[in-house]
Amino acid sequence: MARPVTGHEHLETARALLRNAKTAAELRTAQAVLLPLELGLSLEQTATAIGRSRVATCRIRTRYCAVASGQRLPARSKHALRNHAKATFAQEEKILDEVLRDAGEGGVLVIPRLKPMIESRLGKPLALSTVYRLLARHGWRKLAPNTQHPQGDPVRREDWKKNSPLRWQKH
């Protein structure tokens, strides 16, 4: 004999989730809770209806009931703080708005010059690759390399250049 269906106390919240579902996962969760309670479907029939295995359907129902009753925290948003992140996405956006004011009007980004400014606003040291990933995450694609080496000598660079007579150059 099968176990009786539980979760009657979450019926109204599941109906609200069904009406306001924005993703397929939210829709499946609401259906996994509502189909057995309202239509009397078994766990196997519910699993077939929502396109998941019996075990996955049972997990979805159990997780929803635990979250709805406050026994468990809901799943974290993907836009919350990432693993090992120095700041949230919104904080990064604010810092980039401050640092890149002139770059938004067609200016060129030179990353080694930006790195100290971003570090000072974050209050934490960053690797150069982290700055590149930060900019890519926020849609900055056209980046320029540094124009010259920071320890270079402009006088020696000019001396090193080839100074050929005009007759050797193409006209």
pTM over 0.85: no
pLDDT digits (tens, 9 = 90+) for 131-156: 888 888 888 776 566 677 778 888 88
Q: Tell me the per-residue pLDDT of 119-133, one tens digit each, with 9 for 90 and over.
A: 999 888 989 888 888
14: pLDDT strictly greater than 80: yes
Task: Tell me what the pLDDT averaged over the chain comes to.
Answer: 82
Tokens encoding 12: 């109204």
The residue-averaged pLDDT of 4-20 equals 88
Q: What is the pLDDT of residues 90-103, one digit of tens each?
A: 888 999 888 887 66
Q: How does residue 54 score in pLDDT terms, banded at 50, 70 and 90?
A: very high
What distance in Å separates the CA atoms of residue 25 and residue 31, rounded to the nearest whole number?
A: 10
Residues in the chain: 171
Reduced to 3 states (helix: H, G, I; strand: E, B; else coil), residue 144 is strand
In 3D space, the residue among 45, 43, 46 whose CA is nearest the CA of residue 31 turns out to be: 46
Rounded CA separation 7/36 (Å): 10
Domain spanning 8-68, CATH architecture: Orthogonal Bundle (1.10)
